[in-house]
């Protein structure tokens, strides 16, 4: 009896425990319904309410409602009790016509305060044109597989644009159409997207079925995969077929029926293989007239730049920050070139990215920080930074240009580039004993040494002077040669090219062992481009496959080795965004890269 009284008190006080900020009033209905079919419009409230008000619903007939149901729940956890009230208001609606219609928000009062629900959009589909559709084969005689029509289940590969420019992104959607919801027997096999860089759109883990009218029939549909593709070459590129094995549950006809068959139906799972049709994409080459600052960016972008300070001292770092935002192949664009004065020590830029892939494409930003250290005082100018891209909307190249920066460098403390400071003070210690240079003579405890034992004038005495002098001359010539070589920045970069490449390839090897595919290919690309930049003494921003081939040819590199380098670069760019890549492919590419750099070192010797 006490338990019943306690439960009754919990039910009475359930609504009182809800705070005003915790009240949730939510509307729900199907996204799509078929003309002539009824559907439920439901409002859910987590408190006791009154005076539910709906706005006019001119596009639907209200057949019934509101019907109200109340449920209570209580929990007792760690000595603390919690209770929850759920009130549901249900309407039965019938659409008046086909189309897409809005249901305005409703309102309700809870403890004197008004609360408003969300609005809804309901799409009313036309009925099936074929009235004798088998609906998945129920009630048909014969085998279960034969009762499934060829148009009952299929997968469409929908391409947003079949006529694009090179590096222009477009969306590919794989959608399953089913007469009734079904399941997969095996993971779907999507095409490999050869010739494209692929960026997959993140979809919810729980696939949601919806209804769609297609070719005169209403289907249950679900999106299986969405991918943004960027073609890497011009011409006709074909997206191959995908393969999907689905399990369809249909009712099995019974020759002999009993009274229990009305309560218990017999079902059978039938496997059906669905194959998408291949699609050919016409990829147009980018038009002529590319600006000097164009490095392959296609889409729509904006650029901003800033400098950390325009007044610094010698040996203090100055940073130029460039931020590129927009939609397009932003992951593939190269860093804009920032030209610092010759007397500055320049460091590798720091790059931060923030990308998001949606059905509209890859959107985000790329922030590049360039750091340099001035070694001499004076007034310098950093030229305006330019970035060009191809705008697919206007079919034209556009160039974004920042402002030039004037930099004033002052002399720092105890730094390079400062004029030597001459001291004008005399040394007081040198006059400390003036007038006392004649000392008294010692007359006791005198000891004498044989002339044969005197070090002064001996061979060792002269050797102590001669050997350091010879070593000084030798080191002087060696050091002068090193200074001369170090002053030649191009020669220094050329000598260190192999060391830098080996260091980056070690990092790539670790990423390969950790099976981090995209990071591995990125690091291999950095090693190759960095090696070529150092070896050929060309800034990375100015590097391209065309001028790399031309420069290597000047140095007498074999055409086979040049092609090997180009193949490795193409493989890395393709493989970074490929849907899957085996570990043995990464091993093979790693060995090819090490071998190619070794051959290049033996060919180009400076």
Does residue 373 surpass a pLDDT of 70?
Answer: yes
pLDDT on residue 77: 66
Least confident among 44-58, 82-96, 263-277, 589-603: 263-277
Out of 3.40.1010, 2.60.120, 2.60.40, 1.10.3470, which CATH number does the structure's domain 145-284 have?
A: 2.60.40
Fold adopted by 2-125? Immunoglobulin-like (2.60.40)
DSSP, residue by residue, 241-290:
P-EEEEEEEEEPP-SS--GGGGT---EEEEEEEEEPPPEEEEEEPPPS--
pLDDT on residue 254: 55
pLDDT on residue 253: 57
Domain segments of the chain as ranges: 2-125, 145-284, 295-410, 489-603
Does residue 422 surpass a pLDDT of 50?
Answer: no
pTM of the model: 0.56
Fold adopted by 489-603? 1.20.120
pLDDT in tens, 28-48: 888 888 887 888 888 888 887
Beta bridge partners of 304: 323
> Average of pLDDT values for 429-453?
50
pLDDT in tens, 324-353: 999 998 888 889 999 998 888 888 899 999
Give, as one character, the DSSP assignment of residue 434.
Answer: T
* pLDDT greater at residue 183 or residue 470: 470
What is the distance between the alpha carbons of residues 208 and 221, in angstroms, rounded to a whole number? 8
Asked if domains 145-284 and 295-410 share a fold, the reply is yes
pLDDT on residue 541: 65
Out of 3.40.50.300, 3.40.50.2300, 3.90.1150.10, 2.60.40.740, which CATH number does the structure's domain 295-410 have?
A: 2.60.40.740
pLDDT in tens, 178-201: 888 877 777 888 888 888 888 888
What is the distance between the alpha carbons of residues 315 and 373, in angstroms, rounded to a whole number? 6
- HEC profile for 120-188? EEEEEECCCCCCCCCCCCCCCCCCCHHHCCCCCEEEEEEECCCEEECCCCEEEEEEEEECCCCEECCCC
Does residue 518 surpass a pLDDT of 50?
Answer: yes
pLDDT on residue 209: 83
Local confidence band at 388 (pLDDT 50, 70, 90 cut-offs): very high
Rounded to 10 deg, the angle between the 489-513 and 459-487 helix axes is 80
What is the distance between the alpha carbons of residues 486 and 345, in angstroms, rounded to a whole number? 13
């Amino acid at each position: 009896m006490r338990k019943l009284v306690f439960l009754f008190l919990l039910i009475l006080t359930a609504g009182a425990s809800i705070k005003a900020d915790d009240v949730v009033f939510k509307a729900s209905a199907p996204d799509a319904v078929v003309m002539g079919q009824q559907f439920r419009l439901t409002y859910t409230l987590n408190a006791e309410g009154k005076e539910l008000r709906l706005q006019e619903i001119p596009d639907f007939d209200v057949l019934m409602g509101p019907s109200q149901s109340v449920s209570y729940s209580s929990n007792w956890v760690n000595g603390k009790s919690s209770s929850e009230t759920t009130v549901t208001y249900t309407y039965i609606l019938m659409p008046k016509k086909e189309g897409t219609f809005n249901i305005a928000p409703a309102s309700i009062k809870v403890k004197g305060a008004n609360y408003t629900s969300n609005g809804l959009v309901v799409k009313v589909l036309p009925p099936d044109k074929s009235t004798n559709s088998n609906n998945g084969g129920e009630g048909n005689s014969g085998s279960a597989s034969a009762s499934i029509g060829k148009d009952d289940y299929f997968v469409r590969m929908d391409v947003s644009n079949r006529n694009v420019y090179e590096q222009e992104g477009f969306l590919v959607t794989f959608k399953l159409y089913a007469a009734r919801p079904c399941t997969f027997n095996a993971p779907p096999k999507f095409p490999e997207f050869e010739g494209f860089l692929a960026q997959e759109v993140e979809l919810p883990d729980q696939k949601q079925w919806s209804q769609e009218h297609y070719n005169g029939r209403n289907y249950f549909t679900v999106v299986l995969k969405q991918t943004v593709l960027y073609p890497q070459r011009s011409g006709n590129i074909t997206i191959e077929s995908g393969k999907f094995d689905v399990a369809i549950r249909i009712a099995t006809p019974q020759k002999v029926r009993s009274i229990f068959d009305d309560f218990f139906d017999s079902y059978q799972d039938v496997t059906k293989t669905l194959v998408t049709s291949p699609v050919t994409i016409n990829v147009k080459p980018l038009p002529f007239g590319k600006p000097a600052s164009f490095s392959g960016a296609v889409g729509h972008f904006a650029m901003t730049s800033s400098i950390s300070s325009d007044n610094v001292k010698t040996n203090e770092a100055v940073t130029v920050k460039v931020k590129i935002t927009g939609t397009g192949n932003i992951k593939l664009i190269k860093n804009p070139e920032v030209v610092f004065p010759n007397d500055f020590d320049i460091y590798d830029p720091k790059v931060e990215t923030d990308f998001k892939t949606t059905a509209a494409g890859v959107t985000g930003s790329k922030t590049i920080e360039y750091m340099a250290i001035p070694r001499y005082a004076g007034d310098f100018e950093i030229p305006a930074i330019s970035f060009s891209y191809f705008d697919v909307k206007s079919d034209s190249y556009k160039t974004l240009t920042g402002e030039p920066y004037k930099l004033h460098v002052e002399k720092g403390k105890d730094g390079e580039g400062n004029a030597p400071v001459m001291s004008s003070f005399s040394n007081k210690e040198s006059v400390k004993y003036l007038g006392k240079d004649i000392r008294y003579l010692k007359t006791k405890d005198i000891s004498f040494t044989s002339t044969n034992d005197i070090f002064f004038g001996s061979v060792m005495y002269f050797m102590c002077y001669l050997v350091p002098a010879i070593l000084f001359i030798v080191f002087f010539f060696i050091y002068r040669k090193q200074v001369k070589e170090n002053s030649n920045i191009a020669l220094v970069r050329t000598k260190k090219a192999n060391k830098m490449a080996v260091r980056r390839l070690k990092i790539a090897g670790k990423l390969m062992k950790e099976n981090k595919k995209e990071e591995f290919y990125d690091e291999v690309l950095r090693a190759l481009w960095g090696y070529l930049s150092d070896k050929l003494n060309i800034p990375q921003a100015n590097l391209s496959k065309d001028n790399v081939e031309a420069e290597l040819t000047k140095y007498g590199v074999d055409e086979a080795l040049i092609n090997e380098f180009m193949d490795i670069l193409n493989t890395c760019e393709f493989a970074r965004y490929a849907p899957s890549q085996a570990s043995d492919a990464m091993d093979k590419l790693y060995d090819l890269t090490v071998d190619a750099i070794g051959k290049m070192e033996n060919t180009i010797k400076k």
